[in-house]
Structure 1
Amino acid sequence: MANRPTAPFDTPLQNRIPGQTGPMQPKPDHGEESYKGSGRLQDKVAIITGGDSGIGRAVAIAFAREGADVVISFLPEEAEDARETASWVQKAGRRFVLVPGDVKDRKVCHEIIDRTMAEFGKIDVLVNNAAFQVERESLDDVSEDEWDDTFATNSGAVFRLTRLAVRHMKNGGSLIHTVSVNADQPKPKLLAYSATKAAIQNFSGGVATLLGPRGIRSNTVAPGPIWTPLIPATMAGDHVKQFGADTPMGRPGQPAELAAPYVMLASDEASYISGATIAVTGGVPII
Structure 2
Amino acid sequence: MTETIGMIHEDALPGNEADLEPKPAWQPRYRGADKLKDKVAIITGADSGIGRAVAALYAREGADIAVVYLLEEADAAETKRIVEAEGRQAITLKADVGDRHACNRVVAETMKAFGRIDIVVNNAGEQHPDQDITDITEQQLQRTFQTNIFSMFFMVQAARPHLKKGAAIVNCTSVTMYKGSKELLDYSSTKGAITAFTRSLSQNLIGEGIRVNAVAPGPIWTPLNPSGGASQEKLAHFGESTPMGRPGQPNEVAPAFLFLACGDASYMSGQVLHPNGGVIVNG
**Counterpart-to-counterpart distance in 1, 2:147 and 2:21:** 27
Gaps in structure 2 of 5+ consecutive residues: 1-10
C-alpha RMSD of matched pairs (Å): 1.0
Identity of aligned residues (%): 43
Task: Show the 5 A alignment for 1:257-272.
Answer: 257-272=252-267
Larger RCO, structures 1/2 (Cα 8 Å, 6+ apart): 1
What residue is the counterpart of 2:7 in the other structure? none
**Counterpart-to-counterpart distance in 1, 2:113 and 2:163:** 15
Which deviates more from structure 2 when the two are superposed, residues 205-214 or residues 230-239?
230-239
| 8 A contact 2:99–2:154 mirrored in 1 | no
What residue is the counterpart of 2:210 in the other structure? 216
- Secondary structure, counterpart of 1:104 in structure 2: coil
Task: Show the 5 A alignment for 1:104-183.
Answer: 104-183=98-177
Which one of 6, 18, 21 corresponds to residue 22 of structure 1?
18
Q: Does 1:57 align with 2:52?
A: yes
Task: Show the 5 A alignment for 1:266-285.
Answer: 266-285=261-280
Shift of 1:38: 1.4
| 8 A contact 1:60–1:85 mirrored in 2 | yes
What residue is the counterpart of 2:195 in the other structure? 201
Shift of 1:216: 0.2
Shift of 1:35: 4.1
What residue is the counterpart of 2:90 in the other structure? 96
What residue is the counterpart of 1:10 in the other structure? none
Q: Which amino acid aligns with 1:174?
A: A
| 8 A contact 1:179–1:222 mirrored in 2 | yes
| 8 A contact 1:52–1:81 mirrored in 2 | yes
| 8 A contact 1:104–1:157 mirrored in 2 | yes
Shift of 1:130: 0.1
User: What does the per-residue CA deviation read over 1:21-64, in whole Å, with 9 as the maximum and x for residues that have no partner?
Assistant: 122221100016x3421111000000000000000000000000
Gaps in structure 1 of 5+ consecutive residues: 1-14
**Counterpart-to-counterpart distance in 2, 1:36 and 1:193:** 35
What residue is the counterpart of 1:41 in the other structure? 36
Q: Which amino acid aligns with 1:74?
A: Y
* Distance change (3 Å), C-alpha of 1:20 and 1:35: farther
**Counterpart-to-counterpart distance in 2, 1:23 and 1:42:** 33
What residue is the counterpart of 1:11 in the other structure? none
In the alignment of these two chains, the number of paired residues is 271
What residue is the counterpart of 1:31 in the other structure? 27
**Counterpart-to-counterpart distance in 2, 1:207 and 1:78:** 31
The TM-score, its normalising length taken from structure 2, stands at: 0.94
User: What does the per-residue CA deviation read over 1:133-162, in whole Å, with 9 as the maximum and x for residues that have no partner?
Assistant: 010011111000100000000000001111
**Counterpart-to-counterpart distance in 2, 1:36 and 1:198:** 35
Which deviates more from structure 2 when the two are superposed, residues 158-167 or residues 130-139?
158-167
Q: Which amino acid aligns with 1:31?
A: Q
- Secondary structure, counterpart of 1:52 in structure 2: coil
Q: Which amino acid aligns with 1:147?
A: L
| 8 A contact 1:35–1:62 mirrored in 2 | no
**Counterpart-to-counterpart distance in 1, 2:199 and 2:193:** 10
